[in-house]
Amino acid sequence: MNTRSNCRPILFLLTIIFLLACSTHGISQIAGGMTETTRTDFGGNSFISGSVFFPSGAPINFRIRIRLSSITGGEIFSNSDDSGKFVFSRLSRGTYTLTIDGEQDFEPTSQVVDILQNRDVQNVSFRLTAKSKISKKPELINAEIAAAPKKALEFYQNALKLAAAGDGKGAIELLKLAVAEYPDFSFAYTEMGVQYLRLNELNKADEALLAALKIKPAAYEPLLMRGIVMFRANRFADAATMLRGALKAKDQSAIAHFYLGRTFMSQKKYDEAEKEFNLSLTIGGEQMKEAHRMLANMYLSREDYKRTLTELEIYLKLAPTAPDAEQLRDVVSQLKTLVQKKP
């Protein structure tokens, strides 16, 4: 019996472990693209679900550690998935605090959530704030929106406050008032698109972002956000067009390269995807560590087990406390055996 035949059982096991889940876009991923659910065993049947976003409003694309605490139940730690989503289950009635405070590049943030009844489902969202130096971008934005009427600007600024507090629906209502006062308010339309995306209302997000692009066709943020919306909607050709446009506006955007890589991967354009993931890593460094998982999944589909192993080892070094780290370490161990047996 040849080496390939001997390896079939371990290959089958690796496939089961690696392809545990499929993302909402139909692409098999290495334990990724799927909401991580954490059982709290607090004795209830309620849930808190949520999402984590970059300061730009784009979904976070690596795992974020989240602490859930309550006076009566103590603390539970979990991680978001590679789309920034998380779920805490089996919660009883009470008040809970969700905190993100272990990230090197972002400011600590927290939210308080009340579970008031059985079978309650509460949704929250976090928009992270960068710890880096004070950016000149807000000054640029202030200059660009100087023409906005005072009332429109007040609606916009209050909408941003609601969005930061996790009230996406309230923010949208204020943003609608802002654009009613000032129809050329591209930033308000862009933020509206971000909020609809956070609520997973893709058609409405697309409408808002198209309105922003009608005003400023070459603007980076609406191009990026519409690219992500198109990717989420499985409209991969449109996603590629938007993301290329975003990169034309800002070629050093790690997240645009990452999502373009995922778009190409969904189209089975693996060479192009590999290039984009590597560019994302070159620009974004450790912050874009999820690209290593994408590369590992892609190499696995090519049966390139040595490179799959390399990418997973790098990922585990960068994310040793990932929610599925132990499982991935088991995969690494088995891959090492497979690579040694392969002629």
| 91 contacts 44 by C-beta, under 8 angstroms | yes
Average pLDDT over residues 12-34: 37
Domains annotated on the chain, with CATH: 36-127 (2.60.40.10), 137-329 (1.25.40.10)
pLDDT tens for each residue of 220-255: 999 999 999 999 999 999 999 999 999 999 998 988
* Vertex 271 angle, CA 299 and 330, to 5°: 15
Mean pLDDT computed over every residue of the chain: 81
Q: How far is CA 239 from CA 142, 225, 255, 262, in A?
A: 29, 10, 13, 10
Q: Give me the mean pLDDT over the 264-280 stretch.
A: 94
Output the pLDDT for position 216: 93
Q: What was the pLDDT predicted at 32?
A: 39
Rounded to an integer, what distance in angstroms lies between the CA atom of residue 187 and that of residue 264? Answer: 29
Retrieve residue 164's tokens: 């930061």
Q: pLDDT tens-digit profile of 289-319? A: 889 989 998 898 888 889 999 999 998 888 8
Which is higher by pLDDT, 236 or 133?
Answer: 236
Confidence of residue 184 (pLDDT cuts 50, 70, 90): very high
- Does residue 282 register a pLDDT over 60? yes
CA angle centred on 314, ends 312 and 319, rounded to 5°: 90
* Region 253-279 average pLDDT: 94
pLDDT tens digits along 156-173: 989 888 887 778 899 999
Q: Above 50 in pLDDT, residue 77?
A: yes
- 29-48 CB burial, b ≥16 within 10 A, e <16: bbbbbbbbbbebebebebbb
168 three-class SS: helix
What does each C-alpha distance from 336 to 14, 32, 232 come to in angstroms?
12, 21, 34
What is the DSSP code (8-state) at residue 147? Answer: T
pLDDT tens, position by position, 199-210: 889 999 999 999
How many residues belong to the chain?
343
